[in-house]
Amino acid sequence: MRYSKYSTVIIGSGIAGLYAALKIEQQVKLPDGLLLITKSKLGESNSRYAQGGIVGVMKENRADSTASHISDTIKAGAGLSDFNAVKYISEHSDEVIKDLLKFGVEFDRDENNNLCFTREAAHSVRRILHSGGDATGKMIEQALCKKVKENENIDIYEETDAVELIVSSNECKGVLVYNDEKMEYETIYSPAIILATGGIGQLYKYTTNPAGATGDGIAIAYNAGAVMQDMEFVQFHPTALAIDCGENRFLISEAVRGEGAKLCDADGVEFMSKYDERKELAPRDIVTRAIFNEMKEHNSDNVYLNASCINSTMLKKRFPNIYAKCLENGIDISHDFIPVAPAAHYYMGGVKTNLQGETSIKGLYAIGETASTGLHGGNRLASNSLLECVVCAYSVAKYLKSLELKTPKQIDEKIMSILDRYSNEDLILDELNIPELKKQLQDIMWNDVGILRDEHSLMTAITELKKLKNNFPRTYKCLNREEYEFRNMLITSMLITNSALTRKESRGAHCRTDYPETLDNCVHSITDKTHGVFDFVK
Ligand code: FAD
Ligand code: SIN
């Protein structure tokens, strides 16, 4: 096995990981250098597909204020958002957006060169900045990737999966990685490991998330003993294009509703006023359940979005990618109805962190969608995720600047025993049908741990997930990336299901049909290995 050492290792090259790399390189003393690892190629991540935009609470936007953004975020969060997290992230929005501009991100501007602000559901004012019309994630990611590639102080490993954290006496001392192309392991020692590994959408049959969103960071942090928060809170986006084309479903941005599009049935009858006075612009969990209910009542696989009421020149200019993707599928959105249905989209739960990205394990940090800072509570407000990615990347860099980053020297017995698992463990070399196992897991999660849950469905899911585990004879070492991802999906699915079973109320995106009430006593759910029901690893 190869060994190396770095002062800081960032795992994940979405917007959180890329921006953290740039800010850490700018500010932190790194005697042993900085390494960015990604299991994909640089530039492939959830971030790349973000459409609607990023919250910009900008000083020059007179209509807006941090007080208003804080209030909207807390209302959408169904009572579970942490005020301090919301305040901190909102108050840093202006500063990080201006920094992104300096890094070369070009947000869309009007004819007078002023930033354009759009509106999305549950925002009381226009405050969403966008880029390339509906290609905000790609535009931000490309600008940051360019800077990272140009920076010779940032080493990059592509096609490399973090498979286990090296933790001894509750201190993270490094990470074990696997290169899927060379089929080689490497141990990297470091005093600061930052997880920026994104979300979990691929746990579900229908998702807007690309293939890599398999909950890896969450599973390896859990295995290492980190505390997890609010694992039951999965956000389902109301309007994914209800046409299957590959591993995920294409998103029809909430911003289309923000610009005036209406939800309707096949006959064009609008239905949102039956569910909420804010209609199409009600919080996501409400719109999702409304659509789900309409689909059930009409025994249909989708409802429709009618964007023909938006000026067609504006529609094509503002949403060029959505327009083109729908046209590819035979739908001209300037006059045809768009078939849409909910899909798993975002994860509010994750590795519990404070605002500096610190987890419960010394030397282990988490930022972006993998982390749970408490910002989103039970239901994320649109476009707050990209904002959280950049603000938390900024703040972890600021925190690391205050530390002396010394690479750990002591290799104790615990560390040796972790590494032994990967050098000596004999694998049962049976060919496993991972695509089939993955499909079964996605069906279980969609049917039983989805938009609506109850005790019976959750208990069924636990039984079925345990059966899947029995058909997967791996604990630590796996044969390839596909197997590592499945291992991580199983662990994360079990954690979500168990937390969903434990929360006996409905709140935000967690809707229990057997416990429809929202309790007055609002608490985060916390779990770790000592409380897990799942003995995947001891
Ligand atoms: P990601 O961008 O998902 O990056 C994770 C990275 O980690 C990837 O590079 C991946 O390869 C790597 N990785 C994962 N596991 C491993 C491992 N084991 N080893 C090594 N590397 C690993 N949010 C908004 O605020 N506004 C929007 O408009 C918006 N639109 C969206 C549209 C779509 C279609 C989707 C899917 C999401 C959208 N979101 C939006 C949510 C937002 O894009 C994500 O929450 C955010 O981009 C997450 O960024 P991240 O850096 O945390 O993770
Ligand atoms: C969208 O464009 O609808 C997605 C925005 C988000 O997830 O924040």
pLDDT digits (tens, 9 = 90+) for 376-397: 999 999 999 999 999 999 999 9
Q: What is the pLDDT of residues 115-132, one digit of tens each?
A: 999 988 899 999 999 999
Q: Is residue 292 part of a domain?
A: yes
Closest ligand 2 atom to 134 CA: 2
Q: How remote is the CA of residue 49 from the centroid of ligand 2, in Å?
A: 10
Q: Write down the pLDDT at residue 533.
A: 47
Q: Write down the pLDDT at residue 415.
A: 86
- What's 304's domain CATH number? 3.90.700.10
Is residue 209 lining ligand 2, measured as CB closer than 6 Å? no
Q: Is residue 316 part of a domain?
A: yes
Out of 249, 284, 289, 380, the active site residue is: 284
Say which DSSP state 381 is in.
P
Residue 4: pLDDT band (50, 70, 90) is very high
Contact call for residues 205 and 342 (beta carbons, < 8 A): no
Q: How remote is the CA of residue 199 from the centroid of ligand 1, in Å?
A: 6
**158/181 Cα distance (integer angstroms):** 10
User: Which strand ranges, in their side-by-side order, compose the sheet holding 34-37?
Assistant: 154-157, 34-37, 8-11, 193-195, 364-366
**188/177 Cα distance (integer angstroms):** 8
Q: Write down the pLDDT at residue 426.
A: 63
Q: How many domains does the chain have?
A: 1
Q: How remote is the CA of residue 114 from the centroid of ligand 2, in Å?
A: 23
pTM score, whole prediction: 0.97
Percent of the chain topping pLDDT 70: 97
**51/255 Cα distance (integer angstroms):** 8
Tell whether the model's pLDDT for residue 77 goes beyond 90: yes
Q: Specify whether 284 is catalytic.
A: yes
Range of the domain at 287: 239-343
Distances (CA, A) of 106 to 32, 99, 136, 155, 538: 33, 11, 9, 26, 48
How many other C-beta atoms lie within 10 A of the C-beta of residue 524? 15
Which residues lie below 8 Å from residue 231, measured CB to CB, with a gap of 6+?
A: 349, 350, 495, 496, 498, 499, 500, 525, 527
**Residues within 6 Å of ligand 1 by CB:** 11-17, 37-40, 45-47, 49-54, 136-137, 161-162, 196-199, 208-209, 212, 216-217, 251, 346, 368-369, 383-386, 389
Tell whether the model's pLDDT for residue 535 goes beyond 90: no
Q: Which residue has its alpha carbon closest to ligand 1 atom 33?
A: 50
Is residue 382 lining ligand 2, measured as CB closer than 6 Å? yes
Is residue 254 lining ligand 2, measured as CB closer than 6 Å? yes
Tell whether the model's pLDDT for residue 424 goes beyond 70: no
Of 145, 193, 178, 194, the C-alpha closest to 44 is: 145
Which ligand lies nearest the alpha carbon of 369?
1
Percent of the chain topping pLDDT 90: 89
For the chain, give the mean pLDDT.
Answer: 95
Q: Write down the pLDDT at residue 538.
A: 39
Q: Is residue 77 part of a domain?
A: no
Is residue 253 lining ligand 2, measured as CB closer than 6 Å? yes
Tell whether the model's pLDDT for residue 531 goes beyond 80: no
Is residue 46 lining ligand 2, measured as CB closer than 6 Å? no
Q: What is the pLDDT of residues 440-460, one digit of tens each?
A: 999 999 999 999 999 999 999
Strand bridging mode 228-229 / 350-352: antiparallel
Q: How remote is the CA of residue 466 from the centroid of ligand 2, in Å?
A: 34
Q: Is residue 438 part of a domain?
A: no
In sign, the C-alpha dihedral spanning 114, 119, 123, 129 is negative
Distances (CA, A) of 335 to 87, 200, 261, 327, 385: 42, 34, 12, 11, 32
Q: What is the pLDDT of residues 242-301, one digit of tens each?
A: 998 788 999 999 999 999 999 999 999 999 999 999 999 998 999 999 999 999 999 999
Q: How remote is the CA of residue 288 from the centroid of ligand 2, in Å?
A: 13
Which tokens is 55 given?
A: 């919250």
Which tokens is 348 given?
A: 């509010």
Q: Write down the pLDDT at residue 15.
A: 98
Q: Is residue 295 part of a domain?
A: yes
What is the rounded average pLDDT of the residues 505-515?
97
Is residue 122 lining ligand 2, measured as CB closer than 6 Å? no
Closest ligand 1 atom to 345 CA: 36
Tell whether the model's pLDDT for residue 428 goes beyond 50: yes
Which residues lie below 8 Å from residue 277, measured CB to CB, with a gap of 6+?
A: none
**165/268 Cα distance (integer angstroms):** 53
Q: Is residue 334 part of a domain?
A: yes
Q: Is residue 309 part of a domain?
A: yes
Closest ligand 2 atom to 385 CA: 8
Which ligand lies nearest the alpha carbon of 258?
2
Q: Which residue has its alpha carbon closest to ligand 2 atom 7?
A: 382
